[in-house]
């Protein structure tokens, strides 16, 4: 087992920085809890060090209870942002941990549980975040549904509808509600995937939504730059999140998850968060309409 990294700045060999397969066989009912994963993911709880790059900013993050959303929330708080967190009510236990971590940094945490498949809730979520934070400078769309199926005939109408609504419809509804409230200099960060470009046979519906997110990001970026708002996307590869053992991968693939990358391991949520910070900060002021991979060496086209 590799030594736990001290922070994101310590010089380390990325090949040995985090756990490698094989991992214990494991599974959870969706949406799952981080606390039950083996090994537990690194969200930056003990490794992310901030420098005030988002001081005074106000961010809404979906899927903020676990995985990449949780890591992003921790990083944003340590960079000085106040945060509204969205998650499903069944994920309350994980969300409470994130709220405590945000408050430990002296930042405001507004917990707003709810189902993004509901367009009315999406609108209310943006309004509540804007009101309770006193404004909205950053929207980070992370929440997603991924359920592996080996054959197109196994994808039910309900699953297809759920995946499209969670991953694409909600993205549209949230952006539609947020853009009129955001000032010049605000940013929107979407979460695509390497599946947008290199789809797996078992992730037919999920890959379809992630390709849509790439197109949506590029088109919206062209539309809202006239308002001074930038839109970009992060496209992760195999990341060790609870999405994987709770149905996102076939159970037999979990022990070797990430082994197919050049780094021979999955990425950790904490390895994605710095890119979200960059795209949220003024340091990326000349970047919009772009998609950035975090893939362990499997390059995007």
Q: Distance between CA atoms of 300 and 269, rounded to whole angstroms? A: 19
Q: Distance between CA atoms of 67 and 42, rounded to whole angstroms? A: 9
Q: Distance between CA atoms of 129 and 251, rounded to whole angstroms? A: 37
Q: Distance between CA atoms of 138 and 72, rounded to whole angstroms? A: 12
Contacts of 11 (CB under 8 A, 6+ apart): none
Do 193 and 236 touch, CB atoms closer than 8 A?
yes
Name the catalytic one among 48, 87, 206, 276.
Answer: 206
Residue 206 is among the residues annotated as catalytic for this protein: yes
Q: Comparing C-alpha atoms, which of 177, 167, 172 is closest to residue 124?
A: 177
53-57 long-range contacts (CB < 8 A, ≥24 apart) are: 53/79, 53/80, 53/277, 53/281, 53/283, 54/79, 54/80, 54/81, 54/138, 54/277, 54/280, 54/281, 55/79, 55/80, 55/81, 56/80, 56/81, 57/81, 57/82, 57/137, 57/138, 57/280
Q: Distance between CA atoms of 199 and 172, rounded to whole angstroms? A: 22
For the chain, what's the residue count? Answer: 301
Phi, psi of 199 (to 5 degrees): -70, 140
Q: Which positions are annotated as active-site residues?
A: 206
């Amino acid at each position: 087992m590799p030594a736990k990294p001290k922070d994101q700045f310590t010089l380390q060999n990325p090949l040995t920085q985090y756990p490698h397969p094989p991992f214990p066989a494991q599974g959870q009912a969706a949406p799952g809890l981080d606390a039950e994963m083996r090994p537990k993911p690194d969200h930056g709880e003990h490794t992310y060090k901030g420098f005030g790059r988002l001081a005074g900013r106000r961010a809404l993050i979906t899927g903020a209870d676990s995985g990449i959303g949780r890591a992003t929330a921790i990083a944003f708080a340590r960079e000085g942002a106040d945060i509204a967190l969205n998650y499903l009510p069944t994920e309350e236990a994980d969300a409470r941990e994130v709220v405590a971590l945000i408050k430990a940094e002296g930042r405001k945490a507004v917990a707003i549980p709810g189902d993004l498949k509901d367009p009315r809730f999406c609108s209310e979520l943006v309004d509540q975040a804007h009101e309770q934070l006193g404004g909205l400078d950053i929207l980070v769309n992370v929440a997603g549904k991924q359920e592996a199926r080996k054959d197109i005939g196994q994808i039910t109408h309900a699953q297809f509808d759920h995946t499209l609504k969670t991953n694409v419809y909600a993205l549209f509804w949230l952006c539609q509600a947020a853009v009129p409230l955001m000032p010049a200099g605000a940013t929107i960060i979407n979460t695509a995937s390497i599946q947008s470009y290199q789809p797996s046979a078992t992730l037919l519906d999920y890959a379809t939504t992630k390709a849509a997110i790439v197109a949506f990001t590029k088109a919206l970026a062209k539309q809202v730059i006239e308002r001074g708002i930038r839109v970009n996307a992060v496209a992760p590869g195999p990341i060790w999140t609870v999405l994987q053992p709770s149905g996102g991968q076939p159970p037999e693939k979990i022990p070797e998850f990430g082994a197919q990358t050049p780094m021979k391991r999955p990425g950790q949520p904490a390895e994605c968060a710095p890119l979200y910070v960059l795209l949220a900060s003024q340091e990326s002021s000349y970047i919009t309409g772009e998609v950035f991979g975090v893939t362990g060496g499997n390059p995007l086209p």
